[in-house]
Each structure stands twice: as C-alpha cells, then as structure tokens.
Amino acid sequence: MQFDDVVIIKQAKKHDEATVITINCPDKTGLGCDLCRTILFFGLNIVRGDVSTDGKWCYIVFWVTGNLATVWSLLKNRLLEVCPSVSSANMLMFYQPESRPPKPADVFLLKFCCHDRQGLLHDVIHLLCELELVIQRVKVSTTPDGMVMDLFFVTDTRELLHTSKRKQDTYDHLKAVFMDAMISCDIEMVGPDFTACSKGPPSFIPPTITEQTFDLETMDETRHGSTHSSNGLSVTMDNSLSPAHTLVQIVCHDHKGLLYDVMRTLKDYNIQISYGRFTTKERKSCEFDLFIMQADGKKIVDPSKQSSLISRLKMEVSRPLRVVLVNRGPDTELLVANPVELCGQGRPLVFYDITLALKLLNMGIFSAEISRHLIGGREWEVYRVLLDEGGKLRVPKGKCEEAVMKKLMGW
C-alpha cells in the first residue's frame, strides 16, 4: 500500500455536503478514539461513520462537516501520525499492549503580557489553536491597572517549539494580531517534572461543588436542557446476534464530539470494535450499532460488566461535561469539568469554547486556570474562570450556564 493511501480526504464540492475521510491502516485498541479526537481538534463534526477490522487491519470512513477554514493537508498529516505504521501489521502485534509508552511531549511555558480588553483571552486562545499549540494548563490574572498576564503551559503538535524559528513565528503571529497592546511574549521549556496529571494536593474546590460537578452516578434531568441530553437516550446490549461479538446499540441526541465520547469510553474499558456504524438522523437523532469484544477476544456476558458499561455510556453520551456557576465571596466563578482519558489525553477545544461563549455574552474574565484532579477514582480536567462582573452578574446565572453548555455541546 502506498503511504498516501493510508488517509484519503475527498473534500465536499458543495457547502451542504460532507467531506469524506477514509483511513486504511493497521489496527490498534483505541484507534477510533484517537482519530475522533484529532478530527474534533480541527473543529469538525462527524455526521456518519463506518468502522470494520479483520483483527489486524482496519478500514474506517468518516463523513465530516463544519469548519470551512480547515487546512485539509494538515489534518491528513495529523491523522497519519495517529495511525500505526504499516510494518506493525506484519509483526502480529494487534491488540497487544505497547512495550514502551510513547515519549511525553515537551511542555513549554508561554508568558503573554498585554493590555486588557473584552474578549482578549479567547482571541489569544484562538491564535494558539491556529498555531497548533495545545494548552495543557493555564493561569490568567488581571492587574488593577488593566494589564493581563497569561501563563500558558503548552505542547506543540508540530514538535518544533524548541527551535528559535518556531518561537519567533509564534511571537510574530501574536504581535500581528495584538500589535501595540502586546507588552511581551516569552517562551521557555519547563522541567521534566511537569506532568499532565496533578497528583498533588488539588486546588481548593468546596466539597459541595465537587459533589455537584463530579458525581458520576447522578444524572440531573432538570439542568442544562434535558430535552437535549436525556430524552430518547437508549443503550442496549445483545449477545444473540453474533457468535463472537456483543452488539451495543445506542440511540441519543447529537452533540459536538459525540462519537469521540463513545470511542473514548470504549477505549478506557479496553473494548475493541470489530464492526461499527454511526449515523445522524433527522432532528439530530443519532444511532450506533457496534459489534464489540473484550481484550481477551470474548463477548461481554457478565451482567455486572454489562451494567457498568451501559451506565458509563449513558453518562458520557448524555453529560460528557459539567458546567456550574458558584459564588466565591462577592465574586462569581464558572467551573467546567470533563473526564480525562486513561491515557492522559483531554477533550480538545474546551477552553476555546468556554471563552468564546463568555465573549459572546460580553462577560469579562478576571482570572482563569486549568488543573487536573483525581475525584471519584477518575481524573478530571477542571476549568475555573473568575468572572469580572463587578460583584453582580449582568447575565442571569441559568442563562450563562446554558450558553456555555450549548457552546461546548454544539447546540
């Protein structure tokens, strides 16, 4: 097979048509999740998908819509990086754990100082996304004299930020957008002790907020538009239709990153998909038919395992993120949380959507930070945004929460 045939992108000819992405490569557990995460990072929506594998080689087709400014050649390169090498298929290593984990990406501290203005943080994040700099942590603060100091801990998808040229290119892009308002921009590599997961003492989060935000067992039907999330949700398993596979069928409402949420859940459970189909119907209803098996190549027949997987799929499909506004003394803080994959990867563009929603609401940001916490036996990525509203919200609490959730979910 030619290298160029591993990923083929057939661009849509009309604005109401979908672009077709075909991937033909050796398989590995969790490949579908990694591909969906990459596509989501580029701001694209998967409206249909077909997956099949013979236990060694896989064939995947995605129909995607959305971002008109997509650089398709760049997306192709990023998808190729996710695919296993062709040589791995000849080594019969399918479904075996990797002998060595991948080398962690180098983390850089980008210090950005600028005169404050409405929507500044989102504009900076937008530019960093265009430069393919992935934000791992952030600390944003505003001084009384109207200066903003943003500390971004980032990784570089292109793996070039250690070079002077890439650093200068980043500086030039920021300077071209913010011009004289930009005071300084410095980039330096941080030490090897920096890790994606904060295993130490977490930042202060009141216990009541932790329970409201991170409870994995309770689905609150009254918050954030239950008509979008829970109505019409169905997850079933059937072992009678295939001698070797368990059939999982899901019917639910669509949201941004839906296929990613299903795939990351199956990946965390070490579940392998032999054949699967995902379609979006009218009125944004979605249907999944997935023939799956466990890592040992057997069906899921244990009732407790079935119940556990069904419950987790229902939770991740209906409520993949948590959004809540809380009082912090005289101020108001926005908390957004999403679960982190077992491999350490987080959901793409969450901070981008949060800041965009607040910008559209004309709400100021006084400070912000991203951190990770182990809560309820799972790792969560927590976004804390202290709103600059002068002690009183100009937008009703419910409307603000709803606007942020809708932007995150693509509703």
**CATH assignment at residue 240:** 3.40.1020
Confidence class of residue 249 from pLDDT cuts 50, 70 and 90? Answer: very high
Residue 400 contacts residue 389 (beta carbons within 8 Å): no
Name the domain boundary from 278, 294, 318. 318
Considering the domain architecture, whether residues 289 and 367 belong to the same structural domain is answered as: no
Residue with tokens 């992935």: 134
Name the domain boundary from 318, 336, 354. 318
In this prediction, residues 203-207 reach a mean pLDDT of 52
Please give the residue range of the domain that contains residue 406: 196-221+321-410
Amino acid identity for residue 117 in this structure: R
Considering the domain architecture, whether residues 269 and 343 belong to the same structural domain is answered as: no
In a domain, 264, yes or no: yes
Residue 278 contacts residue 259 (beta carbons within 8 Å): yes
Could you report the per-residue pLDDT of 114-123, keeping only the tens digit for each?
Answer: 998 888 999 9
In a domain, 100, yes or no: no
- Looking at residue 1, what is its pLDDT? 46
Could you report the per-residue pLDDT of 339-361, keeping only the tens digit for each?
Answer: 899 988 889 999 999 999 999 99
Considering the domain architecture, whether residues 202 and 266 belong to the same structural domain is answered as: no
Considering the domain architecture, whether residues 48 and 174 belong to the same structural domain is answered as: no
In a domain, 125, yes or no: yes
**CATH assignment at residue 349:** 3.30.70.260
- Bigger pLDDT: 2 or 107? 107
Could you report the per-residue pLDDT of 31-75, keeping only the tens digit for each?
Answer: 999 999 999 999 999 999 999 998 789 999 999 998 778 889 999
In this prediction, residues 186-204 reach a mean pLDDT of 61
Name the domain boundary from 302, 318, 334. 318
Q: Is 317 left (phi over 0), alpha (psi -120 to 50) or beta?
A: alpha
Tokens of 105: 């990406």
Q: Does residue 150 carry a pLDDT above 60? A: yes
Considering the domain architecture, whether residues 123 and 255 belong to the same structural domain is answered as: no
Structurally, the chain folds into a number of domains equal to: 3
Considering the domain architecture, whether residues 34 and 69 belong to the same structural domain is answered as: yes
In a domain, 33, yes or no: yes
Considering the domain architecture, whether residues 328 and 247 belong to the same structural domain is answered as: no
- Bigger pLDDT: 89 or 40? 40
In a domain, 187, yes or no: yes
Considering the domain architecture, whether residues 388 and 332 belong to the same structural domain is answered as: yes
In this prediction, residues 216-232 reach a mean pLDDT of 46
pTM for the full predicted model: 0.85
